Chains A and B, each alone.
Chain A
Amino acid sequence: MEQFLQQVINGISLGSIYALIALGYTMVYGIIKLINFAHCDIYMIGAYTGFFCMTSLNLGLIPSMLIAMVLCMILGAAIEKVAYKPLRNASRITVLITAIGVSLFLEYGMMFLVGANVRAYPTMTGILAEKIHIGDFAIPVQNFFIVGITLLLMIMLQFIVKKTKLGKAMRAVSLDADAARLMGINVNNTISFTFMLGSALAGAAGVLVGVYYTSINPLMGYLPGVKAFIAAVFGGIGSIPGAMIGGFFIGMVEVMVSGYASSLFKDAVVFAILILILIVKPAGLLGKNIREKV
């Protein structure tokens, strides 16, 4: 029982990180129908930014995370401008290949800059290093911190999407870009804004994953990125609450498989889930079946 509760807590922490990344995928997919492969590398760069802020500049965790978010936001917008915007009217396969190219460029560019070796994330100090004891088991405070930050960011995102003018524009563009343009919405700016929003969340997730796994390397983005995408597909791609549910689900499955079966198979199980969803309910949990128009 204790082990089970421990696993649940780990699952929620890991799941919240996946959910943060999945939000970026789902928003971008919702608005321009692109699997943004570069998203997982933005998250890797977020982790590195946090690392350098904490070690070289001696900043605290929260300021480092804010800097990482801002930097990723700029990076996300820049990638969109340079690589995706010229291809707005190109076929989907072209944009997808570009996204893979950008992703590889970020990974190997970073490897070239900082080296391929794994770096240890600075250990948490102060209250974050403590553990809360309930009965027999101990919950590290950093898990509360990870989940808390995630929830805060999700509430902020919901507020932006539902209550602000830009959020309304985002929803309009993802529903029908041409109609939105006719209504006087600046579609290009809205798409840039979506990229910025998603990238900022990925930056935060990068710092949190550094705290959770305590090690980072330039290729760390690939697997969590694919898993977060699976989470987005599970929840119904394009749906923001779906991405959150999917993220928590995938995190929980992964932790349970490595806890009770074999950690060697945790990745295979996640991919098997993807293939199962595609067979059973391709639209995902909260997705809608959209009929294609000619």
Chain B
Amino acid sequence: MKNLFKKSAVIKTISIILIFAIVQILLLTNIINDYYFTTLVTVCINIILAVSLNLVTGFTGQFSLGHAGFMSIGAYTCAIFTMRMSSTLGVGAFLIGIVLAAIAAGIVGVLVGLPTLRLRGDYLAIATLGMAEIIRIIAVNLDITNGAAGLSGIPRDVNWFWLFLFTAGTVVLITNFLKSTHGRSCISIREDEIAADSMGINTTKYKVMAFVIGAICAGVAGALYSSFFYVIKPDLFGFLKSIDILVIVVLGGLGSISGSILAAILLAVISTMLQSFAEVRMVLYSLMLVVIMIFRPQGLMGSKEVSLQLFSKIGQSFKKKRV
């Protein structure tokens, strides 16, 4: 219980509640209109996706190219369930749908992760890419997913409360996971897999663990997406969506949770501004990826986090300069 009343924990809890309250007030006073709220939803979903991919790629060092595949599973599971049950269960259907989405994505995560994560090297990248493609092809061919046309008319149950709850929940879950023994083991795998192995860490177990947590979070993000945007199509969750998420993670910094959050916000702003130049957008995206990798491979934040200590350090350095 001591930890709960630590200064930093209290400040964090208060700031989370403050962010929620401020946006809620802005929504009630209609300063954030529907258009801005849609952007806000995209940002929140991207934060969940980016933070969970960062756990896999940035912290555990496993390169996954199929994050959108898990998102797709979550979106379809939740959509199919809520469309059938919404009339009887109301919002409850949406919540059960999210749980089911997380379970389905988690199971697929185990199935893909177990065989491929035993291997070293870049096989995971290609295997996850293949998995996402298989999921897309299955979604195009099944009846229950309504083929290439996709599902539409999914009941919208997402409001700011649920959205914020799941976004903040994911971020808190993953930051706390990284501070635990398991999280430390994951980071040690990224640093040096052979050394971690010889220190007695079951590398496959922790790699699969990180991968499955990432998959579950992506499933939740997909469920939120389907519930907010009414319509889902298999093509929405293709290779390009996975790349979108990867760009956020890389731009924010591999191994920085707050970096991912900042980059998700930044990219949402940029892509809203570039909306009228859709063709150039991808060219700029790809150039950005290459340029960041060559000149600043650690991303905006590197592996640092935005924290109170960082601010006080900046403050101190300013003081020193004055003297």
Is chain B's binding surface mostly helix, strand, loop or mixed?
helix
Q: Which residue of A lies closest to B238 (CB)?
A: A222
Which residues in B have their C-beta under 8 angstroms from that of A271?
A: 130-131, 133-134
B250 interfacial by beta-carbon distance below 8 Å: yes
Shortest B88–chain A CB gap in Å is: 35
Q: Which residue of A lies closest to B239 (CB)?
A: A222
- With the chains together, A282 CA to B124 CA distance in Å? 11
B108 interfacial by beta-carbon distance below 8 Å: no
B273 interfacial by beta-carbon distance below 8 Å: no
| Contact status A93-B254, CB under 8 Å | yes
| Contact status A282-B279, CB under 8 Å | no
* Stretch from B20-28, B227-235, B288-296 contacting the other chain: B288-296
B126 interfacial by beta-carbon distance below 8 Å: yes
| Contact status B250-A226, CB under 8 Å | no
Number of interface residues of B (CB under 8 A): 42
Which residues in B have their C-beta under 8 angstroms from that of A222?
A: 239
- With the chains together, A45 CA to B174 CA distance in Å? 42
| Contact status A268-B289, CB under 8 Å | no
| Contact status A87-B133, CB under 8 Å | no
A108 interfacial by beta-carbon distance below 8 Å: yes
Shortest A110–chain B CB gap in Å is: 10
Shortest B59–chain A CB gap in Å is: 12
Which residues in B have their C-beta under 8 angstroms from that of A272?
A: 130, 134
A265 interfacial by beta-carbon distance below 8 Å: yes
Which residues in B have their C-beta under 8 angstroms from that of A111?
A: 279, 282
Which residues in A have their C-beta under 8 angstroms from that of B119?
A: 278, 282
Counting chain B CB atoms within 10 Å of each CB, which of A101, A103, A282 scores highest? A101
A104 interfacial by beta-carbon distance below 8 Å: yes
Within the complex, which residue of B127, B283, B294 is in contact with A83, where a contact is CB–CB below 8 Å?
B294
Q: Which residue of A lies closest to B122 (CB)?
A: A35
Shortest B180–chain A CB gap in Å is: 24
| Contact status A265-B141, CB under 8 Å | yes
| Contact status B133-A267, CB under 8 Å | yes
Which residues in A have their C-beta under 8 angstroms from that of B130?
A: 226, 230, 271-272, 274-275
22 sample A-B contacts, Cβ–Cβ < 8 Å, listed by A number: A33-B121, A83-B290, A87-B297, A92-B122, A93-B57, A97-B293, A100-B246, A101-B287, A103-B286, A104-B243, A104-B282, A105-B287, A111-B279, A112-B279, A226-B129, A230-B126, A230-B130, A264-B140, A267-B137, A271-B130, A278-B115, A282-B119
Interface of B toward A, CB cutoff 8 Å? 57, 61, 63, 112, 115-116, 119-123, 125-127, 129-131, 133-134, 137-138, 140-141, 194, 239, 243, 246, 250, 254, 279-280, 282-283, 285-290, 293-294, 297
